Structure 1
Amino acid sequence: MTKNQISWLFLGFSGRVSRAAFFLAGLLLAVLQALVLYRFTLAPEGSGASGVWALLFWGMFMLSAFSSVALGVKRLHDFGKSGMFAFALFVPMVSILAFIVLCLYPGDPGANEYGERTNAPKQ
């Protein structure tokens, strides 16, 4: 995977993404958030390290929130739906169900209005 493909996967809104790519990218974001949070909890309270890890956690949180929307939009595009429904990933209690549905619901087998194939930006 090239640098452009990775930036498209986590930051782009055009195109389509498969169930597996959506799940694995979401899992990676969750693991990175957990790692930063874990490191923050290990830092002594009030220390400089604590402040750095807190700042890194908030930065990671903002990046993963943005990336979750981008991934959700592309996943919805894979089965021909508008990306506006991606914000359901942030509604408590609905978010877990929405994530599971996006991981399990099959995409369109061929081209649709959002792209020719999955795991690629719209050409």
Structure 2
Amino acid sequence: MNWYLDVLKNYAGFSGRARRKEYWMFVLFNFIIAVVLSALGAAISTQIPYYLYLAATIVPSLAVMVRRLHDTGRSGWWFFISFVPLVGFIILIVFLASEGKPEANQHGANPKLAPQGI
């Protein structure tokens, strides 16, 4: 849960690098919360809580994705490859799932070497 909260605390931080664990734990908790809110919305016949949550987390989701791309040595602009039909989203997933560069790059030092919350 700390990984999720750390991403929210760095709400609009597009600079720096994000580890795979930070990104995928955020995606996991984001997915679980969205499913729960969607089910709650179905139970009360309105999806307003779900849509409010999506609106509130769009910027941190994009920010952590850009930081994850930075960790792999790519620019955040690679996000737009997801709009290429058929293969773009698959390529982006491969980029997000690949190992980060072990050395420092133009986006900062290796985040694995920095102390992290557990």
TM norm structure 2: 0.74
Give CA-to-partner distance per residue, 1:34-91, whole Å, 9 cap, x none: 1110100111x4xxxx3xxx22211111233322211110011102211111244566
Corresponding residue number in structure 2 for 1:75: 68
Corresponding residue number in structure 2 for 1:115: 108
Corresponding residue number in structure 1 for 2:17: 16
Alignment partners' CA distance in 2, 1:88 and 1:112: 22
Corresponding residue number in structure 1 for 2:37: 36
Shift in CA distance, 72/90, structure 1 to aligned 2, threshold 3 Å: farther
Contact 1:69–1:87, Cα closer than 8 Å, also in 2: no
Contact 1:37–1:57, Cα closer than 8 Å, also in 2: yes
Query: Residue 29 of structure 1 aligns to a residue in which SS?
Result: helix
What letter matches 1:71 in structure 2?
A: V
Deviation for aligned residue 1:96: 4.9
Task: Provide structure 2 residue ranges, at least 5 long, that are not aligned to the other structure.
Answer: none
What letter matches 1:101 in structure 2?
A: F
Identity %: 27
For the pair shown, which has the larger CA radius of gyration, 1 or 2? Answer: 1
Shift in CA distance, 97/32, structure 1 to aligned 2, threshold 3 Å: farther
Alignment partners' CA distance in 2, 1:92 and 1:35: 30
Contact 2:20–2:96, Cα closer than 8 Å, also in 1: yes
Matched, 1:65 2:58: yes
Alignment partners' CA distance in 1, 2:107 and 2:39: 38
What letter matches 1:28 in structure 2?
A: F
RMSD of aligned Cα (Å): 2.6
Shift in CA distance, 27/5, structure 1 to aligned 2, threshold 3 Å: closer
